[in-house]
Amino acid sequence: MATRKQTPTREVLLDAACRLVRRQGVAQLTLDAVAATAGVSKGGLLYHFPSKEALIQGMVEHLLDEYSNRIARETSQETDTPGKWVRAYVRTTFDPSPQEREMSAGLLAAIATNPELLEPLRSRYREWQASVEDDGLDPALASVIRLAADGLWFAELFDLAPPDQALRTKILHTLLKLSGE
């Protein structure tokens, strides 16, 4: 009889916190609500995240790690040509996993709770921008491509008139073409 692989409690808690923020808003993000949503005791939650800020920090870091890992996987599948990293970034941004969509709620929670919790995001973006500028393309063009991909992500995150699927696909192909594909 096969056993089902269980999701670690830390991930269950992070997923529950993100679902709460996405569905009910940042104001509903309490330790009690996260524990109840995750089906764990408050003590179980506090073992992994001793405070609400620690939970939000965990949400942000988890999103960044997932996103960085996907960029790395995408990059490893690319041929070694100028724009390789930029194309991986664009593809990853245009194809977020369902978990990344949920985890982006951590950014909303961080902004609303304590903007200093976004420092890991700022740091990672500095690293990503350095990769963009050192990818063999004109740094200005590579930066415009990154900023366009980021703009789509923010438009979708905040529901700021995101393009329909047909236009979104055309934008993806345009950015990839600009990056040398």
Q: How far apart are CA 65 and CA 126, in angstroms?
A: 15
pLDDT of residue 1: 41
pLDDT digits (tens, 9 = 90+) for 113-154: 888 888 998 999 999 999 999 999 999 999 999 999 999 998
Q: Which of 18-22, 23-27, 40-44 has the highest mean pLDDT?
A: 40-44
Q: Is residue 2 predicted with pLDDT exceeding 80?
A: no
Q: Could you write out the DSSP letters of every residue in 42-84?
A: HHHHHHH-SSHHHHHHHHHHHHHHHHHHHHHHHHHTS-S-TTH
pLDDT of residue 4: 39
119, containing H or E segment: helix 119-133
Q: Is residue 53 predicted with pLDDT exceeding 70?
A: yes
pLDDT digits (tens, 9 = 90+) for 99-109: 777 777 777 78
**pTM listed for this prediction:** 0.84
